[in-house]
Structure formats: C-alpha cells, structure tokens
Amino acid sequence: MKKILILNGPNLNLLGKREPSIYGSQSFEDYFELLIKTFPEAELHYFQSNHEGELLDKIHDTGFSFDGLVINAGAFTHTSVALADALSAVPMPAVEVHISNIHKREAFRHHSFLSSRCHGMICGLGLQGYDLAIRYLLNLNAKPVTIT
C-alpha cells in the first residue's frame, strides 16, 4: 500500500470559509474524508500548517519513507526557496496542486519555486486537483498499457 502525504500551506485551513468564490465552500477536512473513501488502496496522510518551518520538517520527516507527496504550499509556492530545496533533498516524488488557476490571478502568483522540483502541477481544477494528483502518484512506475 502506497503512503501518500497531502501537505497544505498557509491559509488553507480556512477552506470552506475563505473566499468561497475562488476556493469553494467545502472544508479540506471534509474533502480529505472523501479522498480516504475514494482511495482505499492508499494510506493517505494530511498535514496543514501556516508556518514554513513546519512544512519543511514534514517533508524531511516523510521524504525518505513515503511514496508520494501532494503539495499545495499556498503563498509559499511563490516565495520559498527553502521548500524547493527540501523537495530536491528527498527522493519522494511530488505533485504540486493549486485550487485556483494561479495563471489567471495576480502576476506574482504566476511563478512557482516548486514546479521544477515536482513531477507536475495541477491548477485551476478546484479540490479535484488533489484527486488527480493522488491518481498520478498511485500509477507512478506502473507498466504502460500496450495496444497490440
């Protein structure tokens, strides 16, 4: 069973309350329960912090023992070289997720320090981006389907 960590950064503890026109009205805790039911073949873990150092510590603590990371670093995406370095320091594959389409927002949100350290990025698909990232990580290293 693959162990996958979902790591959310600052202000994402306010999902369901914060700017519902951008982020929706569902809390992440409720959505996480749905993810657990959707992926019984995975051991999903969730951690959220508004503090950069706690996010770094969690990557360090899990980066050598977990099979994948879904990371929405919130505003740290656009500012944190330290998080980018942490992703490079561990072998755990990561997928970057953003609930909103960061390319349709303010110009400072268009750059991500994390993207080059991740297998890919999903943005603008709401909470469904987490689902898609988990599916990718579960299928990572699977044998490709061949058509004969």
Annotated binding site: 72, 78, 85, 99-100, 109
**136 belongs to the catalytic site:** no
Catalytic-role residue among 23, 31, 46, 130: 23
Catalytic-role residue among 31, 46, 98, 130: 98
Q: Position 36: which residue type?
A: I
User: Quick check: 9 and 50 in contact, CB under 8 A?
Assistant: yes
- Annotation: binding site for substrate: 72, 78, 85, 99-100, 109
Helix H or strand E segment including 94: strand 94-98
**98 belongs to the catalytic site:** yes
Radius of gyration, CA atoms only, the chain: 15
Helix H or strand E segment including 55: helix 52-62
The residues carrying an active-site annotation are 23, 98
